[in-house]
Structures are given as C-alpha cells and as structure tokens.
Structure 1
C-alpha cells in the first residue's frame, strides 16, 4: 500500500454490459443485484500496487463489467478514517466501501461508522475462514510482521524481534511509517510482554532509535527500494511484502520471530451513510470471489481469507504460515488499539519519524 495523496481521486467511465458472457452474467442473480445497484460505487482504498491489484482482479472483471462505475478515493488510512468520522452525522456520506485493516475496522465500528453486514447479500462470505469473520467487516487477505533480511549479506539473521536491539544492525534496519502501530505492539511484546504493553514498547523504541538509528521510509515501495539498493539489509514488514520483493529479484529471506509474528487482516466494510449500499454489496461479494482471491494471492503473496480459494498446494505453502506458526500468531486486542491508535500515531510522528 504505497502512499498516494488523499486528494487523488480517479473516476473511471461507466462500462456498459456487452453481449456474450457479460450478458449471461447480467441475467443471473448477481447481475440482477448489479442492475438494481446501478450507478457508481465509491471506494476508499490505499493507492499504489495495492490499488492496482484491486482494480485488476476485482474491480475491472467483477464490478465494472456489470455496468457499475468505480470511483476511487485513494489515500492513507488516517486521512480516510478522518473523512468517514466527519461524515457520520450526515444524512448521506460520500463513501460506499472502505478498505481497512482489522484494527481500523474495529475502531470504525466502535465509532458508529460501519454498518453491520447482511451476509445473505454476500453469498461468497460463506467461504470465509470462520476465525476471521466479523459482522461489520469482510476479511480479504492476511499476513504477519516478520524479519526480512538480505540473504547475501546476513548469514546469521536475528531470530527474534528482540535481537534487533544490537549495535551490529546500526544503520541496516529499515522501517516504514505505515506500520507504526505494529512496531509499537512488537516492542511491547518482547521480553515476555504482551500486545497491550505498548507503554513499555515506547521506551524500547526510543532505545532502538538511539542504538541503531533505523532508516524510516514513508511507504512499502520506498522500503523495497532501500532493500534492493542495499541502503538497508533488514526490514520489519509483512511476510507477503517480503515474498513480493523476493519475487521481484531482491536476494531476501524471511525469519519468523521467536515471539510469534504480529498478525494483520485486511478487508473492507460499508459505512452506515453509504450513498449506494446496493452497489456496496455487489462490490463486497466480488472481493471474495474464489477465482479472484486465488489470482490475487498469487500476485500479492497475501494469504486469502476465502478458505475455498483455488490455490495450488505449493502456493499455499509459500504464502501461508505453518500450523505451528499460525498457533503463535499474535492478534491485536482490537478494543485496546482503537482506544489508543490516534495517540500512538501522534507519538510516533513526534518521537520516531523525525
């Protein structure tokens, strides 16, 4: 999810359904819903390669092909969440679907922004892994924060988050501001702490900054470039991102941290004030299409939330975690994150991002 200015807004022209396969599609139940939801579906999403894959595997083949116009409101999640909060008292808002991670989704639900979803109107929700299901959220992809390192330069990589607090990594560690909340939870987790031990985590991050001066990047793409050029040799990021960069040719390897990786799930919801809720349901159902999710997983290396996605055994083994690793995943305390994330971001920007 690379940084795109929140003012960027891309409207695509409406595509009218043609003959043949598209006409057949429009004759079915999903097509009838799309016709009922005619017009635009306004989608709030990250930009960069994340949005490009969303367009390629979901929006163009499964939403626009049905005659809906996708209007994209792209930007980072703090700005996009702030927009929804500002609109929650309006009779009608401006967003139909918003892409979020699981913690932000919980926060927006508690802030009375996201609507509870009628799963009967999302037939593909039946395929979602039960542990990931939520009333207000369509889970889409998941991964975890791991240690990514240059295998040509580092023969004995850190095996835990805590081992990064070592002078030998001075100037070699790359972080991205996008994952500030993950780093704060990670720092609280080490030394036997927990995911709600962020106060101790702050002190450890300050110590990390003083000890090794990690390089901070605005977004994933900039961090990827830093690894590719040798500006940094280690990164803390999602396993899926490490696999993407390996696939691009950077000589990287992945170490699962001894503390257990911090898990993240990405998905979407629909605001209570959505101007076109019918179109939102068409979009949310398309996100969980079995074929689309398999193609998206192959392109992004994120594990799909749709348990029926047609992944090859080899791909599933590559992108997912082993049974032991899954048992050790650390899922956020969503209520705790929701209460604190705004203050965490302010602290990070003042203390770490300078």
Structure 2
C-alpha cells in the first residue's frame, strides 16, 4: 500500500529516478473544405499541410444541389471554407452563412489578373453595408460557355451563337440540357442585355428561339464526358460548350481535332470562388487556404490536369476583348426549367406558354 502511494506521488511530483508522465501533445488543426472535383488534388492538400501543419478534411460534391444540401444541412457549421460560383453565393450571403473576407490576409490576390482583382466589378462578390464594401469570396477558377467545332467539317471558326441555329448543321449540333442556362443563351442570342432577367414581354421570343434550337440539334447532353462520347460517335460539327475548355481538354485527349471560340455576342461563364463559412472557428487558417490556392501547384493543375482556367494566368477567355457574362441568379429558375421541359418534350411554341 505504501509503495503504491509512493508511485502515485512520484508521477504527480516527478520524483527523480521515476518516469514522468508523457506531455500532452496539442491536437493538430483541421481545416474542413468543401469543393468540386479537381479543385484540391492530393499534392495540393499535402503542400498546405506541410506549410501550415494543419490537416485538411476534403469533401467533394458534383452538383450545386449537392453543395446546397451539404451547406444548408447544418447552417454551414460542417465546413470552414467552400468553393462555389457567384450565382450560388448569393443565398449564403443572404442567410448570413458567408464570412466577409479580410483581403489583407490574402496577399496572393496580387498575383491575379487585373479583371479578377477588381472585385467590385464582378456581380455577386460583394455587398455594401453601412457605407462599407464587404467582399465575400475570392475568384479561383472559371469556364466560359463557348463554341467547340470539328475542324474537318467547319473550316472557318464560327463567329456567332447563331451558328447553332444554322440549317447547314441540322442534326450535327450538340447543346446543353439545362433549362436555366438555355434561356440565358437564348436571351444572349436575341441580343438582350440582361440574359438573367427575361422580361414578361420577351418570354415568347425566348421560347421560339429554344424550340428552333431543339429542331436543329442532334441532342442535348448533361455531363462533359457524355458530350465527348456523343461528339465522337455522331461526328458532331458544332457544340455549345457548357463546360468550356474542360470539354476541349477531354476531346483532344480522345484524339478529336477541334477548335474553340468565344462568339461575338460574348459568352455566359461561371466563376467559382473560395468563401469562408461564418460558423468557422478557423478564420486565420481559412484565409491561409485561399492564399495558398492562388499559388503553385493548385493554379497550374487547374489548367494542365482539369482543362479549366485559373485567375492568375492568361487564357483564351481572359483576353481583354472577350466579353464574359458571369452567371447571376435568374428571375425565376423554376419557370425556366418547367418551360424547358415542355420544349424538350416537343411542344409547339404556341403551347409552351399556355399551361
């Protein structure tokens, strides 16, 4: 009994000659990241851990809907930082789920191209509150929705979106299956200045335009891999590239001889950014993540491995003369999808708007 008491006292007091209790090791910091495939490859995660000592828990999603489910399930408390496009960002700002960015903590924004440093000029990134401009996300990667063409069939690069409706290519055109984007495409092709806000008087013209597109195309695709398979199998001449250079990258890898252009009307484009969860307990680490993602190798891997564009180096669509329309929330997403479903089912223009 006496020996047992001495042993306990030795552990507590650290008597000489007896082993001291092991010192408690501080738990490694963890950064929880929600992103799209290819945005943070293993070597990128490893590099961040080596630089900061923090472990990254990466969750990957494949659709905006899946991201919404993840973020809204627990009011963003399950993640510290997440990647999303400017249109999707709006709902998280409105619900107080996105933290204003402290740009002084992200010095690598100086590496970005000028158009991506002028944050106030990019719709959806900032809000003015109490006389101050607050920024809620930092641009990371983007893709414009241009035109891909088979060089063997289309000898001159298509200059206009109207080529998608050209009878010369009837049955040899591929287009995207999403109704929301397609109504914006129709509005852009019709010369409307606000493709994300279709006025009541302009719905009939937009419907007519998409019915005409349905009659001219071979079909519609949803995923980039699907578009490549259809393009090759059916010797497609022209494709509306919802995924932009990512599809070009895949087609060239499959041996296709294709060209890619931004039409004179400009192009719709999505801009994915890094945002910080308002519920995070790792504010400093979240800013460090965004800063790190603007360095090598993350930025270059977006181009070389994913076929996407980054915000720190020039690309086809970062040229000053190219007009990009960054996606914005539309006037009525549900209405667009319902009308598009009727158009795809084969309804005549006069019937689409009657129901």
Calculate the TM-score normalised by the size of structure 1.
0.71
Superposed displacement of residue 163, structure 1: 2.6
For residues 183-217 of structure 1, give each alpha carbon's deviation from its aligned partner in whole angstroms, at most 9, with x where no partner exists. 321210123222245434344223321x1244222
User: Which secondary structure state, in structure 2, belongs to the residue aligned with residue 221 of structure 1?
Assistant: helix
Aligned partner of 2:233 among 226, 229, 234? 229
The 2-side partners of 1:250 and 1:279 are apart by: 43
Q: Is the 8 A contact 1:242 1:254 kept in 2?
A: no
Matched position secondary structure for 1:153: coil
**Aligned twin of 1:160:** 160
Query: Does 2:89 match 1:85?
Result: no
- In structure 1, which of residues 314, 319, 323 is the aligned counterpart of residue 320 of structure 2? 323
The answer as to 2:261 corresponding to 1:255 is yes
- Map Cα deviations across residues 316-344 of structure 1 (whole Å, 9 max, x no partner): 4x54444322xx33344x3xx25534553
RMSD: 3.2
- Aligned match of 1:113: 97
Once the two structures are TM-superposed, the CA of residue 68 in structure 1 deviates from its matched residue by 0.6
The separation in 2 between residues aligned to 1:93 and 1:351, in whole angstroms, is 40
Could you state the TM-score of these two structures normalised by the residue count of structure 2? 0.71
Residues 106 and 246 of structure 1: CA distance in aligned 2, closer, same or farther (over 3 Å): same
Q: Which residue of structure 2 aligns with residue 344 of structure 1?
A: 336
**What residue in structure 1 maps to residue 136 of structure 2?**
136
Q: Is the 8 A contact 1:37 1:279 kept in 2?
A: no
Q: Deviations over 1:148-171 (max 9, x none)?
A: 011123335543112312343333
8 A Cα contact 1:36 1:278, kept in partner: no
Q: Deviations over 1:231-256 (max 9, x none)?
A: 53322114422441354132111132
The structure with the largest helix share of the pair is 1
- The answer to whether the aligner puts 1:59 opposite 2:45 as a matched pair is yes
1:219 alignment partner, one of 223, 227, 235: 223
1:262-281 equivalences under 5 Å are: 262-274=268-280, 276-281=282-287
- 1:293 is paired with a residue whose SS is helix
| Cα distance in 2, alignment partners of residues 231 and 266 from structure 1 | 32
Structure 2: 5+ residue runs without aligned partners?
A: 1-24, 120-124, 126-134, 347-355
Counterparts of 1:236 and 1:174, CA distance in 2 = 6
Bigger radius of gyration: 2
1:139 to partner: Cα distance: 0.4
Q: Which is further off, 258-267 or 154-163?
A: 154-163
Work out the CA distance in 2 between the residues paired with 1:349 and 1:216.
12
The aligned runs of 1:303-322 (5 Å cut-off) are: 303-306=309-312, 316=314, 319-322=316-319
3-state SS of 2:287 partner:
helix
Distance (Å, rounded) in 1 between the aligned partners of 2:281 and 2:46 = 21
Unaligned runs of at least 5 residues, structure 1: 1-34, 310-315
Is the 8 Å Cα contact of residues 145 and 268 (structure 2) preserved in structure 1? Answer: yes
Q: Residue deviations 1:57-110, cap 9 Å, x none?
A: 63233247734132314231123124423433xxx6212222212222234323
- The answer to whether the 8 A contact 2:228-2:251 is kept is no
Does residue 207 in structure 1 map to residue 212 in structure 2?
yes
Instruction: Report what 1:24 is aligned to.
Output: none
Contact 1:57 1:296 in 2 (8 A): no
Q: Tell me, what secondary structure is at the counterpart of 1:270?
A: strand
SS of 1:216's equivalent in the other structure is: strand
1:37–1:278 contact (8 Å) kept in structure 2:
no
Q: Is the 8 A contact 1:44 1:72 kept in 2?
A: yes
Contact 1:94-1:275 within 8 A present in 2 as well: no
Q: Deviations over 1:219-271 (max 9, x none)?
A: 11211222233353322114422441354132111132121222332222122
Structure-2 residue corresponding to 1:45: 35
- Quote the Cα distance in structure 1 between the aligned partners of 2:97 and 2:149: 39
Aligned counterpart for 2:62 among listed residues 54, 65, 75: 75
